[in-house]
Amino acid sequence: MVLLVGNWKMAPEKAKDALSLAKKVQVLARTHKKNIKMVICVPGVHLSALSKVVKAPLSLGGQGISPSNEIAQTGRESAGMIASYGASYCIVGHSESRARGESDTDVAHATQLLLQKKVTPIVCIGEKERDAHGWYLSSVKSQVEAVIGALPKQLLKKLVFAYEPVWAIGKDALREATAVECREMIIFIRKIIADASDEKVAKAVSILYGGSVDENNGASFIDQGEADGLLPGRLSLDPKRF
Ligand code: PEP
């Protein structure tokens, strides 16, 4: 089963457009339910309206939560809030949130809070750039270790990781990643998880690929790239392409 998660980013602007898009994706999710598990991660402001229309096999997700349950956090949402509006998944550590100051420690705390509320965290990891000496591997390693080091071994298999090289994300992407680059990184991430737990757990964790995924390159990240699914961003706002 392929996990296909759409990150709607900060769109659409109007609730009626969010509803109409979700209804179209709902049809797709039903059509492909034997092979593809679909999730839409939507802006928090749309969760309430969408929770009334999004039904299995489509699942609803958030795009980030506060790393703490303290009330004094104007402008933030808690894990409990998104869970109460039907989110069963939530992106954490997206590069766009990390760029606004979300740290590895914040990502680890948010992941813990989501698991406590039975929301599946989709933990985004990925290097900003690639260097010839392979230093980028250590940045991905510390992102993964920050999250898995904060959790008991029995919870690790509940995680979904999304490898999203920052240089391949969004409209300013440098270039597309190749399936070979994706495969190498997925093997590397599984090795980090296996070293911290065991091979069985490392195999059970889903690892998605995201970063300028489209209808031309998507299948290659799964077939040759060994990803368990995909996390497209902009493209997920177009139901046909999604
Ligand atoms: C994303 O937002 O997670 C993403 C991968 O964006 P895009 O597909 O638009 O590059």
Q: What pLDDT, in 10s, does the model give residues 212-237?
A: 999 999 999 999 999 999 999 999 99
In this predicted structure, what is the pLDDT of residue 127? 97
As a whole number, mean pLDDT of residues 40-67 equals 97
Tell me the mean pLDDT in the region 43-49: 97
Give the burial class of 101: count Cβ atoms within 10 A of its Cβ; 0-12 exposed, 13-18 middle, 19 or more buried: exposed
Q: Closest by alpha carbon to 166, among 97, 63, 65, 91? A: 97
Residue 40's pLDDT is 98
For the stretch 70-96, pLDDT in tens is: 999 999 999 999 999 999 999 999 999
Query: Measured from the CB, is residue 122 less than 6 Å from ligand 1?
Result: no
CA–CA separation, 171 and 191 (whole Å) = 31
Question: Which residue's structure tokens are 């990150």?
Answer: 7
CB 89 within 8 A of CB 4: no
CA of 146 to the centre of ligand 1 (A): 23
Pocket test for ligand 1, best of 4, 5, 7, 63 (most atoms within 8 A of CB): 7
* Spatial distance between the Cα atoms of 141 and 227, rounded to a whole number of angstroms: 18
Given this model, what pLDDT does residue 35 score?
97
Residue 146 CA to residue 108 CA, distance in Å, equals 6
SS3 187: helix
Mean pLDDT in residue range 48-62? 97
| Ligand 1 center–CA 107 separation, angstroms | 18
Which pLDDT score, from 0 to 100, does residue 12 have? 98
Q: What is the mean pLDDT of residues 158-162?
A: 98
- The one catalytic residue among 77, 102, 127, 164: 164
Q: How confident is the model at residue 198 (pLDDT cuts 50, 70, 90)?
A: very high
Share of the chain above pLDDT 90, in %: 98
Amino acid at 81: M
> Which of 190-223 are b and which e, b meaning 16 or more Cβ less than 10 Å from the residue's Cβ?
bebbeebbeeebbeebbbbbbbbbeeebbebbbe
CA 219 to chain centre: 18
What is the 65 CA–ligand 1 centroid distance (Å)?
A: 19
The reported pLDDT for the residue numbered 117 is 98
pLDDT at residue 193, as a whole number: 98
Q: Give residue 140's pLDDT.
A: 98
User: What pLDDT does 95 receive?
Assistant: 97
Q: Which atom of ligand 1 is nearest to the CA of 94?
A: 3
Q: Rounded mean pLDDT of the chain? A: 97
